Amino acid sequence: MSSDVWHSKIEAYADGELSASETRAMAEHLRDCPSCTLDMLGRVQLKRAVKTAGIRYTPSLALRQRVDQNLHAKDKLGRVRNWMPKLAVAAAAAVLVFALLRGWSSYQQQQTFAELADLHVATLASSTPVDVISTDRHTVKPWFEGKIPFSFNLPELSGSPYTLLGGRLSYLGQAPGAQLIFQVGKHRISVFIFQDRLGRLLPPGDTISRRLTFNVETFTDDGLRYFVIGDASADDIRQLAEMLKSAARS
């Protein structure tokens, strides 16, 4: 290999850019060639000098902090962006859970009303629809003492189209309560009174609905949950409910 060829490769050699075989060949050549060795020495020294001189400037702390803050601000934004899909999924899940709870609550409510309707029908079909037979509220109410864990007031019915037929014990959700039978015209209406453990399953306010052609009105008062259910008109059901409400608050 001619001297020119070696010289042409010496810069790449100094920069570590020759192949392994070329590097070995150049190293061997340098041992025998003073001219190339001197050339190589000058190049290596220049490289060192430039490296030493080139590392000259240091960034200020203020710049470092500014860039760092910018990066973190963007990073936070990025995190928010990254979270957006997750938030959307979470929101969708929350809506789904809410809808399911609403659905479940509605289902439970319907189940409760259905059960009350069953109780009402079963009572009317019974040969002994009432355990205490009396049209006197002052007789019926004391009969429940010691049988149920609460007390209640009954409205004065004189002058109203309603007649009290009597009362009996009833159970709903494994809890005892009172069932009172009223009559209006030819229709009989059951009034159920339970402790309001069903509150979480039923809407807090007054509700009137129609279930299997029965009208049902429910309301809460002082920890008690009242249900007024019967095949009487919605107005009759509502009016009796109002009277019960007034009596409860008196």
Structure tokens at 139: 């007789």
Bridge partners, residue 223, by sequence: none
Binders in 56-75 for another protein, by CB under 8 A: 56-60, 63-64, 66-68, 70-71, 74
Helix%, strand%, coil% for the chain, nearest 5: 55, 20, 20
**Contact status: 52 vs another protein (CB under 8 A):** yes
What is the rounded CA–CA span in Å between residue 245 and residue 226? 9
DSSP string, 96-150: HHHHHHHHHHHHHHHHHHHHHHHHHHHHHHSSS--SEE-S-HHHHHHHTBTTBS-
Alpha carbon dihedral 232, 238, 239, 244, in 10-degree steps, equals: 110
The CA R_g of the chain, rounded to the nearest whole Å, is 46
Nearer residue to another protein within complex by CB, 10 or 172? 10
Nearer residue to another protein within complex by CB, 40 or 164? 40
Query: E strand or H helix at 208, and its extent?
Result: strand 207-211
Residue from 22, 24, 27, 49 touching another protein (CB under 8 A): that is 49
Number of residues that bind another protein (CB under 8 A): 39
Could you tell me the smallest distance in angstroms from the CB atom of residue 197 to another protein? 58
Could you tell me the smallest distance in angstroms from the CB atom of residue 34 to another protein? 10
- Stretch touching another protein by CB under 8 A, among 15-23, 118-126, 150-158, 175-183: 15-23
**Contact status: 30 vs another protein (CB under 8 A):** no
Residue from 55, 86, 145, 250 touching another protein (CB under 8 A): that is 55
Task: Name the residues that contact another protein, by CB under 8 A.
Answer: 4, 7-8, 10-12, 15-17, 35, 38-39, 41-43, 45-60, 63-64, 66-68, 70-71, 74
